[in-house]
Structure 1
Amino acid sequence: MIRYILAFLLLINMCAFAQQRPLTDQAVGKLADNYNTGLYTAIYNQFTPEAKAILSEASIIQLYKENLLPPLGRITSWNYVDEVKTNANYLVNFERGKMRLKIAVRKDLLITYYEWLPVKPEKEIASPKNTALIKNNNPKQTKLQLLLDSLALDYLRDPNNSSLSIGIVDGDVSSTYFYGETKKESGKVPDEKSLYEIGSISKTFTAFLLAHAVNEKKIVLTDDIRKYLPGEYPGLQYKGTPIRIVNLANHTSGLPRLPTDFDTSPGFNAEDPYKHYTKEMMYQYLKSFKPDTAAGRRTEYSNFGYAVLGKILENIYQKPLEELVKQTITGPLKMSSTNFKIAESEMALMTIGYSETSGKPVPYWQLGAFNAAGGLNSNIHDMLLYLKANMANVNPDFILSHTETNRQTDQSTALAWVLSPFRGKTVIWHNGGTAGFSSWCGYIKDKKLGVVILSNSGDEVNDIALELLSLSLKQK
């Protein structure tokens, strides 16, 4: 439902050191030794005093002990790649994967900057499409349009991918670009009305509803979630610490990504995986769930947590989620084509979703009880309205939904929205993915720059969005 960009970033006192490889080699070697022997405090002590003033020792321990070690294991080797301006780049091999490391150090080997990034494997495309034949509306006149064209064609050269609808906000000007086909071999280029599943971007709508409920004094972020659930849940706490509403909204509840019985419950269908799981099943699972740590201690992305949050909002207002979204968000913003269920009259506008790996059409997902986590469909017209409303913080509900509630080492979470450092600024974003669709929506804080991308392929579009924002920022 979301594809997180795993990046841990620190940017403090960026001093330019020419040819700093001998220094960074030593620092990386020391970091690897400390990590492999579990000396996390020693890693913390590798940072400059200025860095320590911002980073906590606990955050470093969490990063290496909880975020890197369980999925990746120990570091087995590391190799210098190159040096760009003040940063040295390394490829770090772990027992169960690889990561890229950007790092800068002072002459005393103390770290001033570091960033862990995933290694995106090069995609082997056996029979790429002839990009000259890919239809689009891009006039290719400005630097940004030329970059967009290059990025879009590179994405669509993969025959598994079919179309892109891209919206860009720059100041008071919005522009839209459409590439490819809404259905393969149809020759039909998407337009501003073409519909896509937006996956986990739906969580930002749910977060807005929560902010609205808080501002209406219907709920408090620190409330115990059991206050709004039917029945008794004595085990839904850890040593007296309950799961609070805010923990559902920022993924620190301790609830799993999906219930452990999700794919073993009666009616499970891998092609439409969420349809079978009812709210009654959700409540029953919560009755048996016992947290293994206090809420707020660990960040673990949870679709289930957002499904629970959606049900809590329905319980508070005694209205279905669909009605709440229309009444509070899509109605006021005139987003008439953004819905959980597509009207029969608009089905012809729905693009066909394609598998990232096979390129074959896949069924649309029916999220049912998980609608709050990822059930919305939308188009570029509506999503640009939504993006601009978020960028402008048009009312207190938007402001609260963007307010930081949980800080990790490099980035923080508001209510659903992720706040990440980006080119010396902050990007506020969320992405989404279903079996046949990918999406991204975000903007640069305090700058009138934003991007929405919708694709009818499961292949993620994060990199395209960030490249477009990066060039837009440079041109400011």
Structure 2
Amino acid sequence: MHTTDAPSTSTTTAGPPRRRMTAFAAAAIAAALLAVITPWPRGFQGTPTGDAALMSALEGALGSKHWQHVAAARIDGDEVTFAGTGADEHTEFEIGSITKTFTAALFADAIDRGEIDADTTLGEVWPQLDGKVAEVTLESIAMQRSGLPSQEPAPSFADGVGTLLSNYLRTDPYRGDAADIVASLEAVEVGKAEPEYSNYGFAVLGQAIAEVTGKDYADLVAERLTEPLGMKETSVPGSADGLSHGYTASGLPAGPWTMGGSAPAGAIRSTTHDMAIWLRAVRDGSAPGAEATEPRKDFDDSDRIGWAWFTTENRSPNLTWHNGGTGGYRSFLAFNAESGHGIVVLNDSANDVDAAASIISTKGA
């Protein structure tokens, strides 16, 4: 969206020349100090790695922002090309909400195993629930139309303040564990069952699958998805100890996110090497739960949604995709099953990388 600043309609009366000079000097000093403490957009930094042509295409698509470390993979059938700057295909990043595609795969796989049905309700998973929340189906959560709020309700005023402060302190805002997610359902308000993106919903979905299977979410990801596919560089971290951190859009350090009980919504860490494996396996239908990609409902004017996965209707060719973002990372993954083309971009700054879609697909008029 392009916007322009409207001219101010207010009027001011100019002060004496000396006062104006003092104000100008103070403003200049403040600007100089701001320039010293705030990293400015400075393009791609670090040593280029991998394919120069792919890196050039990535630079053209993403533009000049404050990039720290960026890694990409382009997929053409079974051929994978890697590129990066300050990073390579084995550099670890937070993939953010691309994690939801793993949670959706676990959902589809659990259906295939006969452990749940698409229309299993939260009340069937947790019999202590009653009222409207007990009637919410797992499939409605997977398709982002459950009526659950976008974020977990704060269990207390102190928790709410802590979450708010985390935005300023650049730390993980997700404070509750799995038990807190379940407990929150007993008082949550359920809205209309219409398209609304919900991190809380996917936290609930992941914990529901964990409840039904009797396994921890991280163990499910490993045992049912990453280990069978040979994705040795992908995991759900249990704590922030020893984890690398990312950066805000302006280049300030941002703490790692492990997200506690909300891990199924966005806590996975991975590499472009492993995400290229994931993309190809999901695209080809060989990944457990790959049917999650199938579009089932309209989400908005330009996208249909399957279980977590979006499919565009305004690109040529159309792309099945998901993106992600945490406090210091952004990610994007997309593919077209007919052409076999795909793209993965991971980076450790809070600058969006969705524009990388243009590398394999053009936007319609």
- TM superposition score normalised by structure 1: 0.62
Give the direction of change, closer, same or farther, for the CA distance of 1:366–1:226 in structure 2 (3 Å limit): same
Q: 2:253, 2:287 → 1: CA distance?
A: 40
Determine the structure 2 residue equivalent to 1:203: 100
- 1:278 is aligned to 2:171: no
- Alignment-mate amino acid for residue 175 of structure 1: T
* 1:22-421 matches, cutoff 5 A: 127-129=40-42, 134-137=46-49, 140=52, 146-151=56-61, 154-155=63-64, 158=65, 160-179=66-85, 189-236=86-133, 242-261=135-154, 264-266=157-159, 268=163, 270=166, 271-293=170-192, 295=193, 298-341=194-237, 347=242, 351-357=244-250, 359-394=251-286, 397-398=289-290, 400-408=291-299, 409-421=301-313
Query: CA 1:292–1:283 in structure 2 vs 1: closer, same or farther (change >3 Å)?
Result: same
Q: Is the 8 A contact 1:201 1:432 kept in 2?
A: yes
Structure 1 counterpart SS, 2:84? strand
Instruction: Give, in whole Å, the separation in 2 of the partners of 1:406 and 1:172.
Output: 30
- In 2, the alpha carbon distance for the partners of 1:342 and 1:291 equals 30
Letter in 2 for 1:410: S
Instruction: Give the deviation of 1:148 after TM superposition.
Output: 2.8
1: CA distance between counterparts of 2:98 and 2:69? 19
Does the C-alpha gap of structure 1 residues 130 and 169 become closer, same or farther in structure 2, counting only changes over 3 Å?
Answer: closer
Unaligned runs of 5+ in 1: 1-89, 94-124, 180-188, 472-476
Preserved contact between residue 233 and residue 286 of structure 1 (Cα < 8 Å) = no
Q: Is the 8 A contact 2:225 2:287 kept in 1?
A: no
The 8 Å contact of residues 225 and 288 in structure 2, kept in 1 or not, is answered as no
Q: Which residue matches 1:454?
A: 346
State the distance in 1 between where 2:349 and 2:180 align. 30
For the Cα contact (< 8 Å) 1:426–1:445, is it kept in 2? Answer: no
Change (3 A) 1:262 1:377: farther
Structure 2 Cα separation of the partners of residues 406 and 91 of structure 1: 30
Q: Kindly provide the amino acid, as one letter, of the partner of residue 135 in structure 1.
A: T
Matches within 5 A, 1:425-436: 425-436=317-328
Do 1:433 and 1:458's aligned partners in 2 also have CA atoms closer than 8 Å?
yes
Instruction: Decide whether aligned partners of structure 1 residues 216 and 333 sit closer, same or farther in structure 2, where only a CA change above 3 A counts.
Output: same
Q: Is the 8 A contact 1:235 1:289 kept in 2?
A: no
Q: 1:263 to 1:413 in 2, by over 3 A?
A: farther
Alpha-carbon deviations, 1:373-416, whole Å to 9, x = none? 00100011111111111111115621x21122322333211010
Distance 1:130 1:289 in 2: 44
Secondary structure class of the residue paired with 2:145: coil
Distance 1:149 1:435 in 2: 22
Give the secondary structure class of the aligned counterpart of 2:212. helix
CA contact (8 A) 1:212 1:397 kept: yes
RMSD across aligned C-alpha pairs, in angstroms? 2.9
Which string of whole-angstrom CA distances, capped at 9 and with x for unpartnered residues, describes residues 96-152 of structure 1? Answer: xxxxxxxxxxxxxxxxxxxxxxxxxxxxx9955376x75213554x5x554234345
Deviation at 1:170, TM superposition (A): 1.1
3-state SS of paired residue (1:288): coil
Deviations 1:29-71 (A, max 9, x none): xxxxxxxxxxxxxxxxxxxxxxxxxxxxxxxxxxxxxxxxxxx
SS of the aligned residue for 1:251 comes to: coil
Q: Which residue of 1 aligns with 2:21?
A: none
Calculate percent identity across the aligned residue pairs: 25
Contact 2:104 2:289 in 1 (8 A): no
AA of the residue aligned to 2:117: V
**Using the alignment, how far apart are the partners of 2:152 and 2:210 within structure 1?**
20
Post-superposition shift, 1:244?
A: 1.0
Relative to its length, the structure with more strand (as a share) is: 1
The answer to whether the 8 A contact 2:316-2:361 is kept is no
Higher relative contact order (CA 8 A, sep 6+): 2
Displacement of 1:468 in angstroms is: 0.8
Unaligned runs of 5+ in 2: 5-37
